[in-house]
Amino acid sequence: MSIVLDKKSAVSTFKALKKAVGKVSKERPILGNTLLTVADGRGVWTSTDLETSVRIVAGQVDSAMGPILVPIEPAIAATKSGATITIQSDGDKVNISTGLATSSYTAAHAADYPTIDMDAESWVDLDGQVLAEVLERAVIHAAKEAARYAIRGVFFGGKEGIRAVATDGKRLYKSRILSDVTGVNAIVPVATCNLILASLKNVSTVKMGWGFTNKGFTAREFSRVVFKLGVDVEISARCIEEQFPAYDSVIPSYTDETGFRANADAVRSAIVAVSSVGRDGPISIKLTSDGALRFKPENAAAPVTAHIDGVSTGAWADVHFNPDYMEDLFEHARGNVLLDMGKDGENPGTVAGPVAIRQDGDTWVLMPVSDSAKR
């Protein structure tokens, strides 16, 4: 009883399985394995760290094969040599062969591996490339600190369709990815979002499902979200069981009367020019009455002024922002955007993207910093 994978399939499969597991704790060594089962003559590989789980269909099985546990690290090491990888179950042993060498390992008991449920109560279809674009922007806005558990993920939900929202308390990103579905309220851990993002290449349609881990689970509405990427990859997350901040309350109103419309590429060029002058503190952004955006690094004697074609009906005083956050924002903003930088230096600034393939555009929110603040 054996399963064979070509090198390309083995590399991509075991790499994704390893990402789901992460660093294995000494208390749960069994999670350093992937559960291998068989369906329709193909291998089904499952790995989990009990928060993020991944299931991948890969490899051809030559005969009936019972569930076995395969150590992930040796499997990854085997992909570095040989054109194919063969994994064979031999009693209480697992043999991993590259054609050049064979290594044998004592197999842990498959019955001891956690049960991973990839079912869901409700499903919707998402555009795979739109989801990739939104996740790429969202994950960099999520909090990094362990103590800020509720915002160490991307929120999916909202009253009007499914929005993806992420914030670290200093900046926020929001975008609607589906308009005709409501009732979803789930915070997906950043680690899961990164794994989904890494697996979305050439995936046109994603099925997103949500449901309860079990009927007795209380806390928030949905404790699990599942993403089916094509036919061979499924990724699930145990949702963060906290209340996501009321993000709509911190997004200022922006209109054509108070904002400045400009091309995102032009603004990005100005930010890069300013960054090359000074990187030791915040930068100020001032909209002058003649329609020019003036950028000035705190540690530079002279401002760097960029005359950007746009439409404005007023002027702004100096408003200071973190230059790294500004660069992140305009690295992803595209086309004509609407800027409203807060004007009084106290309220958040906003950048709204154009209406494109989603039902409404992206929205970024940045909190200003004081003149003397350092990053």
Whether 61 is covered by a domain: the verdict is yes
80 closest CA partner among 105, 99, 94: 99
What's the domain range around 145? 122-249
Does 360 have pLDDT greater than 60?
A: no
pLDDT at 261 over 60: yes
Q: With bands split at pLDDT 50, 70 and 90, how would you rate the model's confidence at 216? A: very low
Quick one: average pLDDT of 246-268? 73
The helix (H) or strand (E) run that includes residue 12 is: helix 7-21
Q: Are residues 206 and 285 in the same domain?
A: no
- DSSP for residue 193: H
Residue where a domain terminates, one of 92, 112, 132: 112
What's the CA gap between 104 and 202, in Å, rounded?
36
Q: Is the pLDDT of residue 215 over 60?
A: no
Beta strands in 179-326 (DSSP E): 185-189, 205-211, 224-229, 233-238, 260-263, 283-287, 293-297, 304-306, 310-312, 319-321
Q: Confirm whether 373 is domain-assigned.
A: no
Give percent of the chain with pLDDT exceeding 70: 77
What DSSP state is assigned to residue 115? P
Q: How many domains does the chain contain in total?
A: 3
Report d(CA 13, CA 375) in Å as an integer.
Answer: 39
**Banded model confidence at residue 264, pLDDT cuts 50, 70, 90:** confident
Give the end of a domain, one of 249, 277, 309.
249
Residue 76 falls inside a structural domain: yes
Task: Tell me, yes or no, whether 134 and 71 share the same domain.
Answer: no
Q: Which residues of 120-129 are buried (b: 16+ CB within 10 A; e: fewer)?
A: beeeeebbbb
For the stretch 103-148, pLDDT in tens is 999 988 999 999 888 888 888 999 999 999 999 999 999 998 888 8
Token match 């109560």: residue? 121
Q: How far apart are the first and last CA of the chain?
A: 58
Average pLDDT, the chain: 80
CA distance 277 to 371: 17
Q: Which residue has the higher pLDDT, 101 or 322?
A: 101
Write out pLDDT tens, residues 63-90.
767 799 999 999 999 998 878 899 988 8
- Please state the rounded mean pLDDT for residues 303-327: 65
Name which of 74, 28, 36, 78 is nearest 55 in CA terms: 36
Examine the domain organization and report whether 305 and 357 are in the same domain: yes
Question: Which CA distances in Å does 277 have to 89, 274, 280, 288?
Answer: 62, 5, 10, 21
Closest CA relative to residue 258, chosen from 354, 346, 338: 338
Confidence class of residue 375 from pLDDT cuts 50, 70 and 90?
very low
pTM of the model: 0.83
Question: 69 and 36 in contact (C-beta within 8 Å)?
Answer: yes
Q: Are residues 359 and 259 in the same domain?
A: yes
257/312 same-domain check: yes
**What CATH number has the domain bearing residue 210?**
3.10.150.10
Q: Is residue 37 part of a domain?
A: yes
